[in-house]
Amino acid sequence: MHEFIMNIGRAVINFFCSIDTANLTDAVSIMGIGMLGIFIVTGVIILTVLLLNKLFSR
Amino acid sequence: MEILYQNLSNIELQHVIMWVIGGILIYLAIAKEMEPTLLLPMGFGAILVNLPIAEADSGVQAVIDFLFKIGIDSHELFPLLLFVGIGAMIDFEPLLTNPKLMLFGAAAQFGIFFTLLMASFFFPELKDAASIAIIGAADGPTSIFVAGQLQSNYIGAIMVAAYSYMALVPLVQPPIIKLCTTKKERLIRMPYKGKKVSKLTKILFPIVVTVIVALVAPDAVALIGFLMFGNLIRECGVLNSLSDTAQNVLANLITIFLGITIAARMKAEDFLQWQTLLIMGLGLVAFIVDTFGGIMLAKIMNLFSKEKINPMIGAAGISAFPMSARVVHKLGLEEDSSNFLLMHSIGVNVSGQIASVIAGGLILALVKGILGM
């Protein structure tokens, strides 16, 4: 039983040691830029629709 | 007789497992009516590509591989053509009458980026993590397009996860929505102010959106361009027969081949890996966080707005058109039989369609930039 728990512990430690931090940093930066980008594009589209509605409303 | 024995002896356990998986997909399509247009061809295709005879130059494999090559591998032709049909099906009027609904579509893409973060723990290659994350777009063609462009090794599992969860939206979303909202919030009424949108606005909208997205996220231009082209055919008013063809004949034709083509990547040796289970799990995370993101934005907006928003409509930003909007509408009616949220949730839902394409384009641009692709 003790050996079994030790093996699980080792597997968990190995997993965390194997995490590629460079990948993680990239993912965080993509997350930040991506969400910001979506909101910027969305904002521009909203403004454009408001403008179109104002210009061509009957 | 010898050939018969040879074929029988070629059967391995992994083939049988794939037949069972194919059978389950067909069962879900027919008995449960879950995305039958895609799950049925995928299920049959999964059986077809895992027949031992098919491996022995029977022609079946070659034809499916050819369809994959021309339909997905070369320039993602099938998902793009399907987008023409989807664009022709979408009425953007609920969104055009209340454009701020687009913000919920944007917020509901949070699941994509959160899943990218999670996937990067388990998948060493960024292109695979990003392809898995795009399951959160809740939009099959976008998932295929991004995974195809990034040449992910797990495109089969990604497709199965994307379409399965889209089919499971009526099961996945309600518990999350109830968990994230109070009864009082779910009872918020949102009267629909049905302002008339001019025909010119409806015609200009697809053109303007295409130009804006192309300038900011050029990698999404093919997706948004084909989607908006389909919508322009619908809205121009002089191409009704083309619009009808795009919505029905074209969409159905592509769907038939798309499902069976995806099965090209469901060969036992590629599909039966522990990563497939992980991808299914991450796909679920993406859908949950998408739903959470949309609801949370509505709650935040309620802090500053006089006119309260029913936070449930934020959940419809997940794309998955039109199931997600229907789920929100149904939940609203469950709480109060006279609270009709359909027009608002449809508006958010179609904005999610646009936002998911933008998210796909941004993911492509950012990942390709980092990987130097």
More confident residue, B207 or A10: B207
In the stretch 192-211 of chain B, residues with CB closer than 8 A to chain A read: 195-198, 200-201, 204-205, 208-209
Q: Do the Cβ atoms of A53 and B96 come within 8 Å? A: yes
CB-defined contacts A:B, below 8 A: 112
- Residues B281, B283, B284, B286, CA torsion sign: positive
Say how far apart CA B109 and CA B352 lie, in whole Å.
8
CA-wise closest residue to B172 among B287, B325, B329: B287
* Torsion from C-alpha of B171, B175, B181, B185, nearest 10 degrees: 50
Say how far apart CA B183 and CA A52 lie, in whole Å.
37
pLDDT tens digits, B129-181: 999 999 988 888 888 889 888 888 888 888 888 887 887 788 888 999 999 99
Per-residue pLDDT band for A18 (boundaries 50, 70, 90) equals low
Domain extent listing, chain B: 80-251+266-371
Q: Report the chain A residue with the minimal C-alpha distance to residue B355.
A: A38
Q: Do the Cβ atoms of A30 and B113 come within 8 Å? A: yes
Tell me what pLDDT residue B56 has: 53
What is this model's ipTM? 0.83
Tell me what pLDDT residue A4 has: 73
Does A11 score more than 80 pLDDT?
A: no
Domain extent listing, chain A: 2-56
Contact B311, B298 (CB under 8 A): yes
Q: Which residues of chain B have pLDDT under 70?
A: 1-4, 53-58
Q: Do the Cβ atoms of B99 and A27 come within 8 Å? A: no
Tell me what pLDDT residue B57 has: 59
Tell me what pLDDT residue B3 has: 66
Tell me what pLDDT residue B55 has: 53
Average pLDDT, chain A: 83
Q: Say yes or no: B367 contacts chain A, CB-CB below 8 A.
A: yes
Q: Do the Cβ atoms of B363 and A30 come within 8 Å? A: yes
Tell me what pLDDT residue B340 has: 86
Q: What is the residue whose two structure tokens read 């191409």? A: B239
Q: Is B237 in a helix, a strand, or coil?
A: coil
pLDDT tens digits, A20-36: 667 788 888 899 999 99
Q: Do the Cβ atoms of A41 and B216 come within 8 Å? A: yes
- B141 prior amide bond cis, ω within 30: no
DSSP string across B114-128:
HHHHHHHHH-SSHHH
Query: A16, A21, A23, A33: best mutation site toward chain B, by most B Cβ within 10 Å?
Result: A23
- Half-sphere exposure of residue B289, counting CA atoms within 13 Å on the CB side? 21
